[in-house]
Every structure is written in C-alpha cells, then in structure tokens.
C-alpha cells in the first residue's frame, strides 16, 4: 500500500501511545498505575456540563461560524483582558478543536517549506511533528536543568538565521513545569522583535501554577503583541480535555488565514462544547482553585518521595502537573538483571516490573529523564511511588 513520504515521516505521539498501552494492560486485568496521562483526573465542573446539556436540549447542534460563536469569542476577549492584560477584537480570535489543533493551524499558515521554527527542549512531543507537517524544520535548542530548563537569551540569539520564522514558547512548561519570569519573557520578546520572528505562546497550563502567576508575553506592548500568536484553551484548567476547544488570539491577517484553512478541514469547533466553554470562562472559577490545591499537595508529595529514591532526582516544578525526573545515574546500570541502556528501557522495565506507566524523557527531546504525571489520586500516587522505590532501591 502506498503512503506519502509526509505520512511516513510522522511518528505516533509517545504520550498517547503509553497511555493506550497502560489502558490495554488494565483491560487485560493487569494492575497498572498510569503516571503518563496529560490530563487532569477531575471531572468537568457541574455548571459546565449543565450548559452543555442545555445546549443539546435547546437544539444547538448545527454548524456554527468557522471561527467560533460570537458569545465564546467575547468570553475569550474578556478573559484575556482581565487575566492577561491583553486586548483583542472579535476578528483576532479563532476557536478550534483543541489547543493542539490551534497550534497545527498556526504552523500551517506561517511556515513555508524550509522555514525554521526554534523549539526549546524539553518540548511537548507534538511540536516537532507539527512543524514538519507544515514543511518547516524544527530547530531544537537544548536547555539546562541547572537553569530550570529555561531558554537563555544568548543561546536563542545564536540559533536565529534568515530562515527563522518563529519560536515556540510554552510556559508553564510540559514536561518540566518551568514558569518563565516577567524579566525572562521581556528578554525573549526583545530578541523576537529585533529579529522580526513570531512567538507562538502556548499558554495552555497558565492556570496551573504554584507561585507567582504566569505572565503572557503578548502583554509587553504593541510591537511584541503584533508578533505573538497566543494559544490557549479550556482542556487543562477546566478538566475538559475531551471537549476539544482551543483558541488563538493574534493579528487579523493570521486569524483570517487560519479560518480559511479550518473551513476546509474541521469546519467549526463542536457547537455544544463551545457553549460549555462559555460557561467555563464566565462561570465560577472555584473548581479550578480546588483542583490547583490538590495538584499542589500531590506535587509536594511526589517531589519529596522521588528525591529519596536511589538514582532519581527532580527539581520542584512551578507549574503544570508533571515531574521531570533525572534518571541519568541509572543509565548503563543493571537492575534485577536488566541492563538499563536508556530511558526508554527504564520505562519498559518499570511497566513490566513495577506495573507503573511513565513517559521517557527522550520523547520530549531530553534523554536521561522520565516524565511522571501527578494528575492522579494521592492514593494511586503513593502506591506507584512505593512500587518504583521497591524496584529501584
């Protein structure tokens, strides 16, 4: 069977593959604890579900405008002004089928063949693949754990060429939990403006933070705002991963191009999910605060436990719900007769021996690490860490 070269060059999402494998083993009756999930373990808040039910009962089940309903776009504009100190007009907002779709659309409309997009590593697994699908070339820029896995200005400037069209900036970060300070973001903004490159600001984890509130790079004046393509959604903050609503805020020309592209792919986002998203943005934010409190308790627990296990170490994440664990001491060693040649082998070992599913750092461009999600109950987290400790100690 013939497949295009483009299709053959795309890899499966490692995070989804591992989650799928863990679920498959569970269905076979194997007692697996999954720490690979990239979604909150909480249910969608009741007032959001109620709005969706109301929309169905009232027959709001037909096509909507391609870029999203006016009511939702207005709610997004209000949210961005009040929470992020940035102002947009209706024609500068487009709603899509999840933030992943928003990112895909973004790269499709700004990349020409051979254009370079700078991606700091560790990175979310889909960034390089989406860049390649757009005909671009991902330029991976490694960061240092001692610097909190943050992009340094000198390194960024050294990677910019006449082919560079954009930088992807994810804060709070998946997988590291790093959160950039205002000063760090202003330096990145300066470099982007001086070199006239887009900043694709992936802010999907903005509400999940444990210290100072994350700042949007789009808020640093008109010059940087003109170059910023702000990507966000409702999946993580409101536990709505399956509802598939994301959005972009950017200049009208970019949004218009994305709308044309979307009109030939998915048409409009899900009508019922759009109504539910209005309720998410405009309704009570108490469920978000409660979820954040639970995540913080789990974060503190997992950091303390991991740093007591032989061969493992981790920095305390400032955002998101992942712990990025350094396992370099274990690479090359033998554990229970198994040679741990790399982080992937360690993942396989933990799945087989400890019955715990985690994700290798190599999937995020950072070999020698593991990503553990603490978006699970404290009870399951405790049991998973007990199993890992028993295997490794």
Q: Which two tokens stand for residue 170?
A: 């994810």
Residue of 206, 204, 218, 274 lying closest to 250 (CA atoms): 218
> Which segments of 203-303 are extended strands (E)?
228-233, 246-249
Instruction: Enumerate the domain spans of the chain.
Output: 5-43+286-392, 47-282
End-to-end CA gap in the chain: 49
CA-only gyration radius of the chain, Å? 21
Whether domain 5-43+286-392 has CATH 2.30.110.10: the reply is no
Q: What is the pLDDT of residues 258-315, one digit of tens each?
A: 999 999 999 999 999 999 999 999 999 999 999 999 999 999 999 999 999 999 999 9
Buried/exposed code over 222-255 (b: 16+ C-beta within 10 A; e: otherwise): eebbebbbbbbbbbbbbbbbebbbbbbbbeeebb
Position 16 confidence tier, pLDDT thresholds 50, 70, 90: confident
Position 176 confidence tier, pLDDT thresholds 50, 70, 90: very high
Strand, helix or coil for residue 146: helix
Position 252 confidence tier, pLDDT thresholds 50, 70, 90: very high
Position 5 confidence tier, pLDDT thresholds 50, 70, 90: confident
pLDDT at 21: 79
| Residue count (the chain) | 393
Q: Do the domains 5-43+286-392 and 47-282 sit in the same CATH topology, yes or no?
A: no
Q: Do the bridges between strand 246-249 and strand 93-96 make them parallel or antiparallel, or are there none, so unpaired? A: antiparallel
Strand, helix or coil for residue 244: coil
Could you tell me what percent of the chain has a pLDDT over 70?
100
pLDDT at 8: 86
Q: What is the pLDDT of residues 227-251, one digit of tens each?
A: 999 999 999 999 999 999 999 999 9
The CATH number given to 47-282 is 3.40.640.10
CA–CA separation, 202 vs 374, rounded Å?
A: 21
Question: Does 209 have pLDDT greater than 80?
Answer: yes
In the predicted model, what is the mean pLDDT of the chain? Answer: 96
Strand, helix or coil for residue 112: coil
**Is there a contact between 248 and 105 (Cβ–Cβ < 8 Å)?**
yes
CA–CA separation, 226 vs 196, rounded Å?
A: 10
> Which segments of 179-284 are extended strands (E)?
198-202, 228-233, 246-249
């Amino acid at each position: 069977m013939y497949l295009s070269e483009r299709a053959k060059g795309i890899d499966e999402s490692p995070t989804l593959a591992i989650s799928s494998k863990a679920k498959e083993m569970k269905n076979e009756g194997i007692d697996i604890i999954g720490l690979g999930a990239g979604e909150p373990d909480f249910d969608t808040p009741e007032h959001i579900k109620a709005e969706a039910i109301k929309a169905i009962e009232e027959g709001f089940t037909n096509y909507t405008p391609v870029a999203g309903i006016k009511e939702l776009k207005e709610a997004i504009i209000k949210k961005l002004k009040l929470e992020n100190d940035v102002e947009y007009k209706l024609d500068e907002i487009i709603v899509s089928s999840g933030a992943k779709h928003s990112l895909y659309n973004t790269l499709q409309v700004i990349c020409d063949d051979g254009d370079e997009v700078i991606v700091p590593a560790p990175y979310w697994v889909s960034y390089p693949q989406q860049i390649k699908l757009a005909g671009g070339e991902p330029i991976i820029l490694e960061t240092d754990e001692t610097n909190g896995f943050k992009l340094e200005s000198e390194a960024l400037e050294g990677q910019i060429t006449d082919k560079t069209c954009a930088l992807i900036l994810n804060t709070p970060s998946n997988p590291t939990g790093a959160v950039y300070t205002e000063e760090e973001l202003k330096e990145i903004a300066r470099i982007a403006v001086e070199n006239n490159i887009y900043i694709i600001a992936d802010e999907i984890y903005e509400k999940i933070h444990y210290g100072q509130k994350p700042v949007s790079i789009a808020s640093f004046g008109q010059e940087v705002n003109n170059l910023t393509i702000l990507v966000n959604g409702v999946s993580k903050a409101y536990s709505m991963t399956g509802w598939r609503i994301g959005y972009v805020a950017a200049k009208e020309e970019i949004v218009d191009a994305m709308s044309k592209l979307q009109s030939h792919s998915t048409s409009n986002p899900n009508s019922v999910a759009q109504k539910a998203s209005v309720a998410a943005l405009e309704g009570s934010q108490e469920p978000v605060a409660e979820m954040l409190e639970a995540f913080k308790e789990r974060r503190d627990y997992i950091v303390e436990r991991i740093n007591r296990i032989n061969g493992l170490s981790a920095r305390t994440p400032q955002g998101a719900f992942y712990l990025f664990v350094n396992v370099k001491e274990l690479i090359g060693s033998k554990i229970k007769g198994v040679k741990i040649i790399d982080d992937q082998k360690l993942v396989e070992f933990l799945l087989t021996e400890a019955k715990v599913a985690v994700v290798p750092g190599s999937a995020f461009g950072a070999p020698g690490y593991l990503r553990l999600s603490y978006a699970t109950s404290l009870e399951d987290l405790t049991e998973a860490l007990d199993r890992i400790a028993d295997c490794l100690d």
